[in-house]
A = this chain, B = another copy of it.
Amino acid sequence: MQSAAASFVRQGKKIVAIGRNYSEHIKELNNARPKEPFFFLKPTTSYVPSGGKVEIPRGIIAHYEVELGLVIGKGGRDISQEAAESHIAGYTLAVDMTARNLQDEVKKKGLPWSAAKGFDTFTPIGSFIPKSSISDAHDLRLSLKINGAIKQDGTTGDMIFRIPRLIEHISSIMALEEGDLILTGTPSGVGPLAPGDNVECALAGPSGNVLDTLNFTAVSREGGYQFKL
């Protein structure tokens, strides 16, 4: 049987996603730079595996955000930065889809982000990459193309808060469990998807060696929620 970490998409209970962790992305959305990491939760019902369809709800402007994911192996709370690495089972490539117009609205009103980040199919997800395959998680290339045109191309070396700090921060608030996923934030270049768009993402090592790819197609959501101002 696969470990809960290797089958995190099916067995994991939570997705903890870090906001504003790359300077250039903070600038492009005119956001404030955080003094400590902050995060939001996405439901695991938002996972869609590579090759699937991302559904854009009616009235929603849906932005892509390509991100490195950390898959928790050993659970814990109050994990120190020194111990953080030993709690990681592996990595994955993910897209944190975001209903940007709904998010802008709830930010203005001081309301939760949960709907804006949590629609079904809003977390396209790659394969489980065992930790042993990656020598330095802060030296990886994250890229995203739409219909063949490059839109995001960043390095995980540009994270403001690095991986051990993220694990320390989250686990000081909520316990982490095997199969939990941490999304580490997106580099610059985010933007909207239109129905029919074909999205291809890649995670590559320092020498250009591709560690994983993730692709999906955007479609219009039939029925369901409709955003109105």
A1 at the interface (CB under 8 A from B): no
Q: Among B13, B41, B44, B46, which residue has its beta carbon within 8 angstroms of that of A118? A: B41
A45 at the interface (CB under 8 A from B): yes
A164 at the interface (CB under 8 A from B): no
What CA separation (Å) do A16 and B41 show in the bound complex? 11
Q: Please give me the residue from chain B that is nearest to A118 by CB atom.
A: B174
- Do B45 and A115 touch (CB < 8 A)? no
Q: Please give me the residue from chain B that is nearest to A115 by CB atom.
A: B173
> Which B residues lie within 8 Å of A119 (CB)?
173-174
Q: Among B40, B120, B223, which residue has its beta carbon within 8 angstroms of that of A174? A: B120
- Do A112 and B110 touch (CB < 8 A)? no
User: How many identical subunits does the complex contain?
Assistant: 2
A78 at the interface (CB under 8 A from B): yes
- Do B46 and A174 touch (CB < 8 A)? yes
Secondary structure at the A interface, as helix, strand, loop or mixed, is loop
- Do B38 and A115 touch (CB < 8 A)? yes
Q: Among B42, B57, B110, which residue has its beta carbon within 8 angstroms of that of A110? A: B110
A3 at the interface (CB under 8 A from B): no
Given A14-B44, A38-B115, A39-B115, are A172 and B110 also a contact pair (CB < 8 Å)? Answer: no
What CA separation (Å) do A224 and B77 show in the bound complex? 8
Residue total for A at the interface (Cβ-Cβ under 8 A):
40
A107 at the interface (CB under 8 A from B): yes
> Which B residues lie within 8 Å of A149 (CB)?
none
What CA separation (Å) do A114 and B137 show in the bound complex? 26
- Distance (Å) between the CB of A32 and the closest chain B CB? 8
A83 at the interface (CB under 8 A from B): no
> Which B residues lie within 8 Å of A169 (CB)?
225
What CA separation (Å) do A65 and B57 show in the bound complex? 32
What CA separation (Å) do A13 and B190 show in the bound complex? 29
* Top 6 A-B pairs, shortest CB-CB distance: A107-B110, A40-B112, A172-B225, A41-B41, A112-B113, A45-B175
- Ordered by A's residue number, 20 sampled pairs between the chains whose C-beta atoms are within 8 Å are A13-B43, A32-B109, A38-B111, A38-B112, A41-B114, A41-B118, A43-B174, A45-B177, A77-B224, A78-B223, A78-B224, A108-B110, A113-B113, A115-B173, A119-B173, A119-B174, A120-B174, A169-B225, A172-B225, A173-B224
